[in-house]
A and B are shown apart, each in its own frame.
Chain A
Amino acid sequence: MVPPGLYAVGEPDAEAPVVVTANYKMSYDIVRRALSGRDVWLLVLETYGINVWCAAGKGTFGTGELVRRIAASGLAQVVSHRRLILPILGAAGVAAHRVRQRSGFEVVYATVRADDLPAYLDQGAATPAMRELRFTWYDRLVLVPVELVLAAKPVAPATALIYLAARLLWGADAAAAAALSVLGAVFTGIAVGPVLLPLLPGRSFAIKGAVAGGLYCALLYALAGGANWGGAATLASFLALPAVSSFYTLNFTGCTTYTSKSGVKKEMRLGLPIMAGALGAALIVVIAGRFLA
């Protein structure tokens, strides 16, 4: 975490531009690196170590903090102009007209990415590309490890429970197969769904995840001796595994840069009961298969 306040990049004078960022270490470092070789003031807000986008959503990268930080840093005495350059993703927390009323400083929202700041400062305006959010496959890929670690906490005990229950009912081999296939479905939902996002059909993340999970289950059936699974296990697999993948791909909406709250609510309202129903049906099928066989 970087202490909030006013920092100098190079040797800025009273005319130098003022760039505002969050006190997330990574944001600060990226902005500093982007501005290296220039003379710029950097006003760092107290966002408790959280990035601009998330802090704007929480309101810590907000009007109140910006106005307070302008006053606390004595910015009005340091620069002769009254213009602040903010990242576009900070606009969800800052009301530009209120900042002007309360501090006298004019807010301009410059670019989405810090890397475009030098070009913005040179041209004095942003090109459409600088104002546009993107979501490349690499952007998605780097999120996967974090999501896998976060999922491990609930998934580990659930898988252990599945293993124990299957072991009691069917024996060690079936239990290992069941546990591994569930872990595969989780991985499909967390890693394969998000990385292949634009290739999977539909707009709904739940459907994209279900399709990925269905493909995974079909692949498992083809490569892991599906013909010997028996009817109940096969049916249960094709019900439960896509449901698990679907849930985890739907969960990836939190990592994206284009899903809306209303859209995710709609998906959850329609999707969660279907996922729960599929899991319940799978459970009934395998238990019935065990005791009727």
Chain B
Amino acid sequence: MKGFRYLAGVATLELESSLCVGCGRCVEVCPHQVFRMAQKRAVVADRDACMECGACALNCPAAALKVDAGVGCASGLIHEWLRERKIPGFNGGGGCCG
């Protein structure tokens, strides 16, 4: 995203190029322009811009994309961590997005 870069080398995005059918859906759904088309196949042009929203993997009809999708939100992750450890008072929804 213009003016903003997050940590490099952490995104879990994987593209299995041999499965790609060249539909271009990943280019269409990615709000950070991670993909581009080259020789009728998708290529990862900017992996570090990936925020792991999972839209590309969910919309890939050939299941060529994999990403450990989730929300990049510290309080959400803290809530998740507390809930997993069954700390009382954290059985409800996560901290993010209401």
Binding site for B on A (CB under 8 A): 50-51, 53-54, 56-58, 88-89, 91-97, 108-109, 112, 128, 131-135, 197-198, 203-205, 250-251, 253-254, 256-268
Given the contacts A203-B7, A204-B7, A262-B11, A109 and B29 also touching, CB distance less than 8 Å: yes
Question: Is B92 interfacial (CB-CB < 8 Å)?
Answer: no
Given the contacts A203-B6, A204-B7, A258 and B1 also touching, CB distance less than 8 Å: yes
A135 to B69, CA, bound (A): 21
Q: Are A258 and B6 in contact (CB under 8 A)?
A: yes
Segment of B37-45, B53-61, B83-91 in the binding face: B53-61
Q: Are A259 and B31 in contact (CB under 8 A)?
A: no
The winner among A94, A128, A131, A260 for most chain B CB atoms within 10 A is: A260
**Given B25, B74, B76, B98, which contacts A50 in the complex, CB threshold below 8 Å?**
B98
**Given B28, B51, B58, B95, which contacts A260 in the complex, CB threshold below 8 Å?**
B51
Interface string of B1-41 (1 = CB under 8 A from A): 11111111011100000000000010011011100000000
| Range for the number of chain B residues in contact with chain A | 35 or more
Chain A residues near B72 (CB, 8 Å)?
A: 253-254, 256, 258-264
A interface secondary structure, majority: helix
A54 to B76, CA, bound (A): 12
Q: How far is the CB of B86 from chain A (nearest CB, A)?
A: 20
Q: Are A261 and B75 in contact (CB under 8 A)?
A: no
Q: Are A92 and B4 in contact (CB under 8 A)?
A: no
Chain B residues near A93 (CB, 8 Å)?
A: 58
Residue in A closest to B25 when the chains form the complex, CB atoms: A96
Residue in B closest to A96 when the chains form the complex, CB atoms: B59
Given the contacts A131-B31, A257-B1, A258-B1, A264 and B55 also touching, CB distance less than 8 Å: no
Chain A residues near B82 (CB, 8 Å)?
A: none
Binding site for A on B (CB under 8 A): 1-8, 10-12, 25, 28-29, 31-33, 49-55, 58-59, 61, 68-78, 95-98
**Given A133, A251, A266, which contacts B7 in the complex, CB threshold below 8 Å?**
A266
A207 to B69, CA, bound (A): 24
Chain A residues near B77 (CB, 8 Å)?
A: 261, 264-265, 268
A-B pairs with beta carbons under 8 Å apart, 10 shown: A92-B53, A93-B58, A133-B32, A203-B7, A254-B95, A260-B7, A262-B52, A264-B72, A267-B7, A268-B74
**Given B4, B49, B58, B69, which contacts A261 in the complex, CB threshold below 8 Å?**
B69
Chain B residues near A131 (CB, 8 Å)?
A: 28, 31, 33
A80 to B29, CA, bound (A): 26
Chain B residues near A257 (CB, 8 Å)?
A: 1, 31, 51
Residue in A closest to B93 when the chains form the complex, CB atoms: A58
Not counting A257-B31, A261-B72, a sample of 19 additional A-B residue pairs whose C-beta atoms are within 8 angstroms of each other reads: A53-B97, A88-B28, A91-B29, A91-B58, A92-B54, A109-B29, A132-B31, A134-B2, A135-B1, A254-B72, A254-B74, A257-B51, A258-B6, A258-B32, A259-B51, A260-B51, A261-B69, A263-B11, A268-B77
A54 to B4, CA, bound (A): 21
Given the contacts A133-B1, A198-B3, A254-B76, A54 and B98 also touching, CB distance less than 8 Å: yes
Closest 3 CB pairs of A and B: A254-B73, A54-B97, A259-B72
